[in-house]
Structure 1
Amino acid sequence: MADEKPALVLHLAGGGEPLLFALTTEESGKLASRLTQLVKSGAVEPVTTKDDSVVAINFAHVAAAYVDDLNRKNRVFGLHP
């Protein structure tokens, strides 16, 4: 089985293609449990990417946010093969 490649996936309220940010496994675990509250509150949150960059995300502009595995093929939102 291939190593997981976790990523933060953001669908912006204004539409367009989703934004993908590669994460470490540790960062994805910390972030996944807080995403619902971040989107509900519209908070601005710093996120550390896999390459150690820090990105400030304004969740007030996010319609949907989730952590996904970039290695997964045949993606269907909400379904895991």
Structure 2
Amino acid sequence: MADPKPALVLHLATGGEPLLFALTTDESEKVAGKLAHLLKTGAVETVTTKDDKVVAVNFAHVAAAYVDDLTRKSTVFGMHS
């Protein structure tokens, strides 16, 4: 089985393709625990990507967000096949 490749997936309220940010396992666990709060409050949060870049995300412009494993073949809003 391939090593997991966690990523933050952001679907913007304006539509278009989702934004994907590769994360470390530790960062993905930290971010996943905050997502519901961030979306409810429309907060701005910094996320550190796998390649040590710091990204500020304004969750007021995000319609849906989740952490997923990019090694999966296909995903539709949490349903894996």
Q: TM-score range by the shorter chain?
A: over 0.9
3-state secondary structure, aligned to 1:36:
helix
Amino acid corresponding to residue 18 of structure 1 in structure 2: P
Q: Identity of paired residues, percent?
A: 77
The TM-score, its normalising length taken from structure 2, stands at 0.96
Cα deviation, residue 79, structure 1: 1.4
More strand by share: 2
Number of aligned positions between the proteins: 81
In structure 2, the partner of 1:77 is: 77
SS at match of 1:16: coil
Taking the aligned partners of 1:76 and 1:15, their CA distance within structure 2 comes to 16
- Would the aligned equivalents of 2:74 and 2:80 in 1 still touch at CA under 8 Å? no
Gaps spanning 5+ residues in structure 1: where? none
Alpha-carbon distance in structure 2 between the residues aligned to 1:26 and 1:65: 17
For residues 6 and 53 of structure 1, the distance between their equivalents in structure 2, rounded to whole angstroms, comes to 15
Segments ≥4 residues shifted beyond 6 Å: none
Q: Which letter does structure 1 place at the counterpart of 2:62?
A: V
CA-CA distance at 1:28 after TM superposition? 0.1
Aligned position for 1:32: 32
Aligned equivalents of 1:45, 1:51: Cα separation in 2:
18
**Which ranges in structure 2 are unaligned for 5 or more consecutive residues?**
none
Distance 2:43 2:76 in 1: 27
